[in-house]
Structure 1
Amino acid sequence: MSTDPMPCEVGFVNGDVTLAGLLEVPDRASAGVVLVGGSGPTDRDNGTYFPPIRRHLAAAGIAVLSYDKRGVGGSSGDWRDATMDDLAADAAAALDFLRTRPGVPAEAVGLFGHSEGGWVALRAATARDDLPWVVTNSCPGTTPAVQERHALANTLRRAGADVDDALALYDRLVAAGRRDAGFAEAARLIDSAGRPAVSCDYWTGIDERLWAFLKGKQDHDPVPDALRLRCPHLAIFGGADELVPVADSARLFSATACHPDRHARATLTVQVFPGADHRVRTNGGTRLASRYLDTLTRWILDRRKD
């Protein structure tokens, strides 16, 4: 184990976007990782989630770079105007930046994507042959539309709300998005249904720009990206994650690993932590699951031999 490194503020560019982040490079780093945050306006810490992961990895001799999403913190641009390809290009720029840092072994730097960041990491991984590994953390193997429906159903059941009517409205909103309906039409659907529970759990905070963003990504399918991987893939899930259809996601990622067109290096490891939530936490979300950090660290370090 190396001594705790001092984090430093860094900046790098992807086209006309400047991204700000935090870099930790331990003495004699043996690997490196870029942490890619989840959905919405996520910063370099992904709220409070990334700091303990960053500290543990750095203490184990792994250089870590995390960054503010476009339009968040010190980064320019706006994530609501970004496509999945744009976000993947940002992650690729972070990867290239980390690889050029003194003391970082360029050939041992991979990507870690949490939740939506997993989709981003998979898309970034498919664009290059030089990635040694990729980790998806609580990343759905389904489309966003399917994942959001699953999450909404769980929220409604927990609240004792009318699930069937709310999901029917959600399905109409998804259908509206697929025909590229405008924000006004989507809002009318909500109003005509009497603003049921779905309006609180899915529609809160949605404006015209965010509606355009959501309908643009709702049918993003991560399976083709997973199929095109040319490196090992670790898929981590919390067994009690109410936001992600965990069993279906594990099945979909496993099916891609069995596909005859899958690259020989693209092995798959699925790790499910029983009782853990979307951030792989237990005890009511107060602590990371037992052995989560050690499992992640060991898997990354073991990939140096691949």
Structure 2
Amino acid sequence: MVGGSGPSDRNNDRCFPPIRRHLVSAGLAVLSYDKRGVGGSSGDRRDATMEDLAADAVAALDFLRAQPGVRPEAVGLFGHSEGGWVVLRAATARPGLPWMITNSCPGVTPAAQERYALAHALHLQHHAQQDIDSSLALFDRLVEAGRRDATFTEVKQLVESAGRKASLADYWADVDERLWEFLKHKQDHDPGPDALRLHCPHLAVFGGRDPLVPVDESIRLFSAWACHPDRHHQATLTAEVFPGANHRIQTERGTRLAPRYLSTLTQWIKDRTPLDS
């Protein structure tokens, strides 16, 4: 299990434990780990590229495969949110992978996903349309600044000259020089090439009311990649949307996992790796 963005530990901020418990009770061995620089892991996540994070996932995969009582040919990958991009990249390094699950993983780039999340949040906060438009325009300028490798001093001046919009506070508040360097090199990551190189069945899970991910667009993109003539014939796609669920596939204001979510994960995995063989 690979966690999402930010300083995610092995529990992915309490998101993973109930999923782990259910999978273990169904007879599956589960491994999740602290991201670089978090919990018991060395290094720094802000220095890590997608290749680095995928290499960590592959190392975890190989470690689990080597454990006594674990059938190595049955072990797959589960990635939540940003972790979905990570396992897509990791899967390309292990062509014999039997299955892969992405959980609330955007099919769009990080920049497009962040823009969608910002627009959604501003509408929920009932900002005036003029303020929403100007905030998104400023966000677009920051993305373009990242593409031309602008320094943190330059973008800080850009934000200050725009009046440090309160509506952009959630996105910009914690950005410092080091985080800016990380964000600008990550912002245009395209999951498409990795999806096209898949050799295994893919389950893409989404919450129907995810405020962070453009679900319709993500499903459209994953479907297009699954139908591409260059895609391996074993790389089937199953998309599951849980109505009313959020980014963590939770309902009832985030108090419980969506009905059928855990059973769907378990049954889908069992259908591809029979546990009695």
- TM-score in terms of structure 2 length: 0.97
Q: Which runs of 5+ in 2 are unaligned?
A: none
1:197 shift after superposition: 3.0
* 2:58 corresponds to 1:92: yes
Q: Which moved more, 1:285-294 or 1:197-206?
A: 197-206
- Structure 2 vs 1, CA of residues 171 and 200 (structure 1 numbering), >3 Å: closer, same or farther? same
Q: Which has the higher strand share?
A: 1
Query: Does the aligned pair in 2 maintain the 1:170–1:198 contact within 8 Å?
Result: no
Correspondent of 2:35 among 47, 63, 69: 69
SS in 1 for 2:79: strand
2:228 counterpart residue number:
259
- 2: distance between equivalents of 1:199 and 1:249? 24
Structure 2 counterpart of 1:180: 149
- The answer to whether the aligner puts 1:132 opposite 2:126 as a matched pair is no
SS of alignment partner, residue 66 of structure 1: coil
Say whether 1:241 aligns with 2:210: yes
The structural deviation recorded for 1:246 is: 0.1
Could you tell me how far 1:261 is from its partner in structure 2? 0.6
Q: 1:78 aligns with which of 44, 58, 61?
A: 44
Q: Secondary structure at the match of 1:64?
A: coil
User: Aligned to 2:190, what secondary structure does the other structure show?
Assistant: coil
Greater relative CO (CA pairs within 8 A, separation 6+): 2
- Cα deviation for residue 144 of structure 1 reads 0.3
Question: Paired residue for 1:165?
Answer: 134
**Deviations 1:5-63, CA, capped at 9 Å, x for gaps:** xxxxxxxxxxxxxxxxxxxxxxxxxxxxxx00000000000001000000000000000
Partner SS for 1:271: strand
Structure 2 residue aligned with 1:219: 188
Equivalent-residue separation in structure 2 for 1:226 and 1:163 (angstroms): 33
Per the alignment, residue 13 of structure 1 pairs with none
Give the corresponding residue for 2:245.
Answer: 276
The whole-number CA distance in structure 1 between the counterparts of 2:75 and 2:50 is 21
Structure 1 residues 179-203: Cα deviation after superposition (integer angstroms, max 9, x where no partner) = 0001111111110000113431210
1:195 to 154, 164, 171: 164
Query: Runs of at least 4 residues of structure 1 off by over 6 A?
Result: none
Matched letter for residue 199 of structure 1:
L
How far off its partner does 1:128 sit? 1.9
Superposed CA offset, 1:51-85 (max 9, x none) = 00000000000000000000000000000000000
Alignment of 1:282-301 (within 5 A): 282-301=251-270
User: How far apart in 1 are the matches of 2:166 and 2:90?
Assistant: 36
Aligned twin of 1:21: none
In 1, Cα distance between equivalents of 2:245 and 2:208: 5
- Give the whole-Å Cα distance in 2 for the aligned partners of 1:198 and 1:123: 34
**Counterparts of 1:218 and 1:170 in 2: how far apart (Å)?**
12
Q: Does 1:152 pair with 2:113?
A: no
- Equivalent residue, structure 2, for 1:36: 2
Deviation track 1:212-249 (CA, whole Å, cap 9, x = no partner) reads 11001000000111111000000000000010000000
Higher helix share: 2
Q: Distance in 2 between matches of 1:119 and 1:81?
A: 17
Amino acid at match of 2:7: P
Structure 2 counterpart SS, 1:270: strand
2:77 partner SS: strand
* 1:101 to 2:67 alignment: yes
Supply the AA of the counterpart residue of 2:112.
V
| Other-structure match for 1:46 | 12
Please report the TM-score for the alignment, with normalisation by the length of structure 1.
Answer: 0.88
User: Please, which runs of 5 or more residues in structure 1 have no aligned partner?
Assistant: 1-34
The amino acid that maps onto 1:39 is: S
Do the aligned partners of 1:156 and 1:197 also contact (CA within 8 Å) in 2? no
Distance verdict in 2 for CA 1:198–1:221, change over 3 Å? farther
Provide the C-alpha distance between the structure 2 equivalents of 1:225 and 1:38, rounded to a whole number of angstroms.
18
Give the letter for the 2:103 counterpart.
Answer: N
SS in 2 for 1:202: helix
Determine what percentage of the aligned residue pairs are the same residue.
72
